[in-house]
Structure formats: C-alpha cells, structure tokens
Structure 1
Amino acid sequence: MDPIKLMNSSNQFYNEPPQLEALSFYPWQILLILIYSLTAFISLGSNALTILILLRSEQVSTELWKFLLNLSISDITMALFCIPFTYTNYMLGRWIFPRFLCPIIPFFQVTAVSVSIWTLTIIGIDRFFAIIYPFRSMLWLKRHKVITIYGIWLFGALIASPQLFYSRIESFNYRGQQYDDCREQFSYNVGLLYTIFLFLFTFFLPIIALIFVYSRICLHLINNTTVPGNPDQNRDKYCVNKKIKVIKMLVTIVVLFAMCWFPIHLFQLLVWFYPSIQKQKTTFSYYVYVGSYFLCHWLAMAHSFVNPFVYCFMSGNFRN
C-alpha cells in the first residue's frame, strides 16, 4: 500500500485527506516529472541496446548471457509499466489513468522485481556449480535455460498475483470534487503479512542465497588457482582471471540491486510496523517524510538502468 496515501488519510478508507497531492508545489512536480521521465528513457534505451547487442553476439548461446538478456527484459518491463504510473499516482494522490490499469501496474512491478532478483539467484547458483563443481555442474539447467527463464517469470507472476485481485479503483471526495484512487484492499493484518512476504521472497532470501554462493566462489578462487586438465601455468592463469572478472561483474550487479531496493523495502516495513511515523506534525517533517519516500522510490526505479552500464564497464566481451 502506498505510504503517502496511508499518511494522507486517517484510516485505510476514504476520509477526506488534509492534503491531496504529496507535493503541491508546482516546480517540485515539474522536477519529479523530469527526473522520472529521464530515468524511464535511459532504462528503455540502455536495455534495448543491451538486448540488441546480446542477440547479435555469439556469447548469447551461453547460459550467462541468456539470463542477462532476461534481466534486461525485466528492466524494460519496469520502465514501461511501473515508472510512469507509480510516481504520478504518489505525487498527485489520485489515479488519473484508465481504471483497468489499476491492478495491472502493481502486478507488473512486483513481477519485474521478482524476475530480476531470482534471475540473479539462478545465475549465482549456475556459477557456483560451474566453478566449484565443474564435473557435477547443473546439466539440467544447461539444457533447459529457456524453461528455467519461463519458470522464473511464472514464479514472479504467482508472487504478484494478489495485486490482480486486491488492487482496485475506489472513488473519494476531496473538497467537493470526485476523484479515483488505486489502492490495495487488504486488511491491516493481511497487508502486513503480504509486505513481509514480498520482502522475504523478492529481497531477503535471494540476497542471502547470493551472499552464500558468491562467498563460496570467492574462497574457491582464492584457494584454487588451477583448472582441471593437464597443468599449464599460462592457461590456468588466464582461465582463473577470466572467472574472477565475471564474478566481479556479477557481484557488482547483486550489490547494486541490494543498494537500490533495500531502502524502499525498509521504508514500507517501517510504515507497516510503526504507523505513527506517518503522522507529521510540522510542514518540515512532512516534506522530510515525502522526500525520503520519493528518494527510496526513485532508487528502486533507477535500478532498471544500472545493469547495462555495469556490463559496459566490466565486460570486455560486451564492449567488443
């Protein structure tokens, strides 16, 4: 549920809020529009270019680049279906888009986030077996890359499915005018449990799994500087350095995901566990609250364009 709307009404039903728009100062609205529009434009452009490069590259046949392609698709989904709608709804305090989009937008947002983090998790597991257990690598994953990717999207859609049933348009009055609002119609307890569920399955659990697999991989590369087969110092050094470069890139992608998405998860949890932080007694505290929310939200949306820049700076194959 939108924390700004929680703050603007005395309960989850539709009493008239003291202030409809989160930022009623017009220049601030223009600034937000410019920032979020630029974010969506960069995300669409950089990920579309990434997809084009990967599809034309011979590297696309490998397991890793197939999954990186999936990451770009999920980021484009975020840029198209989430960025333009969510910040506008938060900023204006009302739903100005077609009504049928109300459940679809949050559904795609949760799905896209889930696909991103679980794709990273599958990549981490694949690298774990490929590097630590090369002769016992996950042959099923190698042979069924496309099925695995479909499974990731299906799992993300299942996690997001409550949005299709509980997000709906409600009308409310504000100073004699009738407005629409798109809200999650959860009870408090169900909403709290669903928020915790999303935190666990779209952030905490996959991040813990990734910390484990990459820690094991790093220790393995430190303690093992040879590769299977007949000893060859130059070949072994080249292969180990190549693996280290790939792992550095993947770890960077995971760290950036955590940095971008943790603030908004934390903000949402704080709003649910400590509702009193929504009650701002001064204008200054109100704008601190609203500004903190928009900063957390923008960081999450900005993650949709960071991966292509990581590939560009950290992958020689991608640059070539």
Structure 2
Amino acid sequence: MNPQIQMSPLILLMLIISRPSHGYPEIPADDLTNENITDDFISLFDIDNENLTIIELLEAISLNITNVSSAMPLLTEMFLELVRPNTWTWILIFCHCVVFFVGLVGNCLVCVAVYRNHSMRTVTNYFIVNLAVADFLVILFCLPPSVIWDVTMTWWFGTGLCKIVLYLQSMSVTVSVLTLTFISLDRWYAICYPLKFKSTTGKAKTAILIIWIIAMVCEIPEPISLSAVPLISNGSVNVIYFTQCKPEWSVDVDMIFITVKMVFFFLIPLLFMIVAYSQIVRVLWKSGEMPHQAMNPGGRMNMTGGQLNTFAMNTNTSTEGQLKSRKKAAKMLVVVVGMFAICIFPVNLLAVLRAANMLFHSDLNQILSLMSHWLCYANSAINPIIYNFMSGKFRKEFRRAFETCCQRESKRHHYYSGGTFYHKDSGFASRSQSKSDNEKHKLSTFRDRENMKLIRKNTRTTVVQVDI
C-alpha cells in the first residue's frame, strides 16, 4: 500500500476557516493566480511550461514529485488558498445545514405520524414512510461527508467510506424513484381500475421489500468500481490533497453505466408516473362519480323507494367526501413527483455530460455541479414540507407530535408523589383529582336513559332503548 501524506479534516477545516482573507487573492476554479506559489512549484519540480491550469499543474507535480517533505509546505499553501471559503461557500454550507436539520426532523415526523395514527396506516402512507426512511438515511450518512468534499475539493475518508457513502446515496435515489413509481401504480389501479386489483398493506410491505432488493442489487457495480484516487502521486507516495472518490473503470464503461441508470431509474419511471397521474387526474376531475361506484356483482339492490332515496343521499355524501380526499391526495403526490424530477434531473444530466467529456472546467460548471448536489439532498428534506401543507392528517399529526414534545418538556418541571403534583420551582402542591375527574367525564359522556333511544323508520321496531 502506498504511503499517504494527509492532515486531519477537522484541523484542515479549522485552518481554512480561520485563515485571514487579506493577502490571498480569489482563485478561479481553473487557474492558479498566485504567481509566487506557481514559480516556487515550477522551480522545485523543474516544470517547463509556466502557463498551466491547476489541474495541469497538479498533474505535472505528480509526475515530477520526488521529495514529498519539501513539497508539502507549498502544497498546503496552494491547497488552503484554493479551498478558502468565500461568500458562496458559506451560503452553500448554510443551505446544507438547513437541509440536514429539516430533513432529519421532517422525515422522523412522517414515520411517527403513521406509527401513532392507525387510521393513517394505508398503502400509500406505507410507501411514504419507506420514502422517508430512505431520505433520512441519505441525509444522516451522506450529506456531511459530501459537504466537506464539495467545500475542500478533497475526499478525506478513504476508499472504504467512499464505497459506502456513494453506494448508500445512489441506492437511496433508486429506492425513492421506485417507491414513487409503486405509489403511482397503486393509485392508478385504485382509481382507474378498482375492480381489477385490491391493494392491501401486506402487498405494500412485499413491494417495499422488493424495492430495496432491486436498489441494492442494481447499485452493486458502483461500490465495486469506486476508490479514493489521489490526484498527486508518484507511484510510491500519495498526497491526500485533491483526492477524489471516483470509479476506476474506463470512461466508456462509466458512460454506459450512468446512461443505463438514467434511462431505467429516472426517465422510464418518470414517464410512467406522468402517464399514470394524467389518467388519475382525468378520472377524478372529469368523472361525476368515483370509478368504484359500480353495482354489486349481481347488479341488485333490494330496497324500497324510501330506503333507496336514503341510501342514495348517504352514498352521494360519502362519495363527495371520498372524491375530495382523493383529489387532495392526488395533488400532493403529483407535487412530490414533480419536485423529485426537478431535484434529480440536473445531477443526472451533469453526470452524463461529465462522462461524455462535454463538461469543461469553469466557474459556472462548478457552481452548477454544487447546486445539483444540493438539490439532491434538498429533495430528501422537502417531502415532509409538502405533506404538511397539502395533507390535513399529516399536518395534524405533526402538530400533535410537537405538542407532545412541549408537554414532556413542561412535565420535567413537575413530579408526582402520593397523589399530589409538585412544581419543582415553587412550594405549590395540588391534590390529584384524576379519579374523580375520570368519573365526572364518564357521567358527562352518557345522556339520561330517557334520551338514549334509537329510532328506526320503515321497520316494525320503532324505538330501541339502550340501557346504560
């Protein structure tokens, strides 16, 4: 194994952040403007051409480096100059911090909401929880090292984490797109062809298992090929500065792999979801009644005229409520799919262009690359926000979870002893009335026996009296 000259990422970041801004000119992404450093490198490594870009200079250093100890001070100087945060870097770091906090809290709330409310344990919500789990994992384990990588232009964490982090990130995106595809398929069957397929939570759990297996298997080639590749190396000594986590296979193979992934795990699922939700919207908004409002298999309704009118009125009321609920759910899912497409498309496009050598080094391309990475993580944090604004049930459960946290915080200032609540910050004590209050609640819940009567029309029994 080649020895590697490296510095602790934490210490290096502290040096970068604390480094004074005066005396260090702004450095473009593709050119080193500090002539003193450039001249020192040229004289130290006997480089002939003085008009070099950063990449060319580093490659030249890699070919000519013999004495690492003498080169390290200059390499460190150049590295700190290149990666010193500017205004845009701080904005990028702040945006990632917002995504990290919102993503972790929001996706946890989604899981808690479905767990606590049994009425929310529907097929669609099972898939939404699966989406939240994938987003939570990628934000927790992939976002922090990716931010350090983007800011310092160096992968500090070795080949092992290079494989794990990028594999988990790619697998999460695949799980997300497959989950959204299964949701659209389930809604398409339920609304457009309700009599052909019955969706159950058991089938949803099986589908979720299949989704994870497919994602794990299809992303296996990536960790096999990934490695932490140093940019500065003479074969025997590697310098960790500007080390990149990238695949070691050929450019042609990389191009094929990226293109296949984009077609099968982005374009085709997205096209299917567009078609499915187009039909769902057409059925819900243009149909006067829900598709499932068909007669029973026998086509019979053994009712009298009065019963039929009552049944029709109740059915219409129920149908209107169900139609409204399904319209809201469809709107929310369409927004989720739309945001997924907007957030994931840029990074896929840039990956294809980069693999095809159509993406050149420039400030604009560097900014676009950083923004595309941020959008991927932002997509993992934005779904809970969409649920909060577009789903009354999720909004109610989110509020309930926050209220529970606040109540637990307030209860820390009280303790209970011998049927009495004591406030920690005062001598006040109040006798617990839990038992008597419970009895009063029971008494107030039930009405007088004379009022507890159920009246049924068009039957021999006109009054049914219920004893308490």
So what's the TM-score if we normalise by structure 2? 0.60
- Give, in angstroms, the shift of residue 61 of structure 1: 2.4
Q: 1:318 aligns with which of 394, 399, 402?
A: 394
Does residue 1:246 correspond to 2:329, yes or no? yes
- Give, in angstroms, the shift of residue 45 of structure 1: 1.2
Does residue 1:58 correspond to 2:118, yes or no? yes
Q: Cα–Cα, structure 1 residues 253 and 187, in superposed 2: closer, same or farther, change >3 Å?
A: same
Partner residue of 2:155?
95
- Whether the 8 Å contact between 2:104 and 2:139 is mirrored in structure 1 is yes
- Give, in angstroms, the shift of residue 21 of structure 1: 8.3
Question: In the comparison of the two structures, how many residue pairs are matched?
Answer: 306
State the structure with bigger RCO (CA 8 A, min sep 6), 1 or 2.
Answer: 1
Q: 1:292 aligns with which of 358, 365, 368?
A: 368
Partner residue of 2:434?
none
Does residue 1:107 correspond to 2:167, yes or no? yes
Structure with bigger helix share is 1
Q: CA-to-partner distance for each residue in 1:220-255, whole Å, 9 max, x for gaps?
A: 123322131564332222221111111001101000
Q: Cα–Cα, structure 1 residues 66 and 15, in superposed 2: closer, same or farther, change >3 Å?
A: farther
Farther-moved stretch of structure 1 (69-78 vs 195-204): 195-204
- 1:186, 1:32 → 2: CA distance? 31
Farther-moved stretch of structure 1 (233-242 vs 21-30): 21-30
- 2:358, 2:387 → 1: CA distance? 43
- 2:94, 2:323 → 1: CA distance? 45
Q: Aligned partner of 1:269: which letter?
A: V
- Whether the 8 Å contact between 1:221 and 1:244 is mirrored in structure 2 is yes
Structure 2 gap ranges (5+): 1-28, 31-52, 63-74, 295-310, 397-468
Give aligned-pair identity as a percent: 25
Does residue 1:116 correspond to 2:184, yes or no? no
Q: Cα–Cα, structure 1 residues 191 and 127, in superposed 2: closer, same or farther, change >3 Å?
A: same
**Rg bigger for which structure?**
2
Q: CA-to-partner distance for each residue in 1:282-308, whole Å, 9 max, x for gaps?
A: xxxx22121111112111111011110
So what's the TM-score if we normalise by structure 1? 0.86
Partner residue of 2:285?
222
- Whether the 8 Å contact between 2:350 and 2:359 is mirrored in structure 1 is no
Q: Cα–Cα, structure 1 residues 276 and 126, in superposed 2: closer, same or farther, change >3 Å?
A: closer
Farther-moved stretch of structure 1 (86-95 vs 199-208): 86-95
- Give, in angstroms, the shift of residue 212 of structure 1: 1.0
- Give, in angstroms, the shift of residue 191 of structure 1: 0.2
Partner residue of 1:165?
224
- Give, in angstroms, the shift of residue 38 of structure 1: 2.4
- Whether the 8 Å contact between 2:232 and 2:238 is mirrored in structure 1 is yes
Question: In structure 1, the residue corresponding to 2:374 is in which secondary structure?
Answer: helix
Q: 2:360 aligns with which of 263, 278, 300?
A: 278
Question: In structure 1, the residue corresponding to 2:227 is in which secondary structure?
Answer: strand
- 1:21, 1:130 → 2: CA distance? 58
- 2:158, 2:127 → 1: CA distance? 34
- 1:194, 1:235 → 2: CA distance? 50
RMSD (CA atoms): 2.8
Q: Cα–Cα, structure 1 residues 215 and 174, in superposed 2: closer, same or farther, change >3 Å?
A: same
Partner residue of 1:44?
104
